[in-house]
Amino acid sequence: MAELVMAAATPHNPLLWRAMVEPMPDDLVGVAANFRRIGDTIVELGVDVIIEVGTDHIRQFFSDNAPAFVVGKAERYHGTYENEVRTFGMEYVEVAGHRELADRIAGREVLPEAIDFAVSHEWRLDHGFIIPLQYLTPALDIPVVPIHANSTLPPLPSPRRFAALGEHLRDTVAAWESDARVALITSGHMATDIGGPRQFLGQGSPDPEFDEMAVGWMRDGDLEAAIEGCRYDRIMAAGNVTYQYVNVITALAAMGGRPAELAEATESRFASSPFFMWRAG
C-alpha cells in the first residue's frame, strides 16, 4: 500500500521570489532555512508524489465558479501567470500531474463520503502552488495532485471541513494499492493583511497574538483548538487573507492530530511565514 510519509505547510508569498536571493538578507535567512529543511526531508524520505493543498488567488476560479474543494486531474500543469512573471520575476514552469492518485482522491464513479469535490482537467497554477514547489522541489520533478481549497471567496468551507479533507487524504493514500511514498504539502498564511492598513508594516505580524496561538495548535497537536480558534470572526480580525491559514488544518488532521516537529511563524520584512512539518509516526 502507499504511504503518507510526511506533511508540511509553507508560505507562498511571491515577494519572496525577488527578495530571497544571495547574498541572503538577514531577515530572510530563517525563511530560506525552513524551506530548505522541508525540501531536504522530501528528498530524505524518497517522496514519489506530492498532494498540494493551496488556494487559487481568484485566477482560475472566480466568484461565478468557486467550488469549495477542487482536485486537479490534468496530466500536466502550466504555471504561472503573466502578471506574476512581470511583477515578481517568477518563471513560467510546467509540472507533471498524477491522474491515478487524483482519481482516487476525488472518486472515479461516486464522490467520497467525506468531501464533495469538484474536479478540473485544465488548470493553470498560480503562485499559491508554484512558489512552494519551486523552493521545496527546485527541479519540479515530482508529480503533483493540486487541490484548491476556497479560502478567499465567501461562503468559505468551515475549519472542520479542512480537517475532514486531511482525514480523507490520509485514508485515501493508505488504501491506494501502490508502493508510492506520498507527501502532503499545504500552503497558506499566518496573520496577513493585503492592501489593508496593517500590510507589511516592517514589524512582523499584524496580529502576533493570533500567530502565537496558531503556532501552538500545531506544536501541541491540538486539532480541536485549531478548529475552534479558526472561526471566521477571529481569523478575519487577524488580517483580510488570514483564512488561508486554515489550509494548515488539513495537514494536522492528516497526521492524526500529532504535534509537529517543526512549528514556527518565521518573521521577516513581510508578514510572518508559516512553517510546519510532520513525519509519519
* Model pLDDT for residues 5-28, shown as the tens digit of each residue: 999 999 999 999 999 999 999 999
Residue 145: pLDDT above 70? yes
Three cell numbers, residue 268? 521577516
Reported in sequence order, the residue ranges of the chain that DSSP labels E, i.e. its strands, are 3-10, 49-54, 69-72, 76-79, 93-96, 118-120, 124-125, 144-149, 181-187, 262-266, 273-279
Q: What is the pLDDT of residues 169-210, one digit of tens each?
A: 999 999 999 999 999 999 999 988 876 666 655 556 889 999
Question: CA torsion sign, 211 to 257 to 108 to 177?
Answer: positive
Nearest to 260 by CA among 227, 222, 207: 222
Whole-angstrom distance, CA of residue 236 vs CA of residue 242:
6
Peptide bond into 155 cis (omega under 30): yes
Q: How far apart are CA 187 and CA 273, in angstroms?
A: 10
- 228 residue type, one letter: E
Mean pLDDT for the stretch of residues 152-166: 96
pLDDT at 270: 84
pTM: predicted TM-score of the whole model, two decimal places: 0.96
Q: What is the pLDDT of residue 96?
A: 98
The whole-number pLDDT of residue 193 equals 83
CATH number for the region 3-279 comes to 3.40.830.10
Rg of the chain in Å (alpha carbons): 17
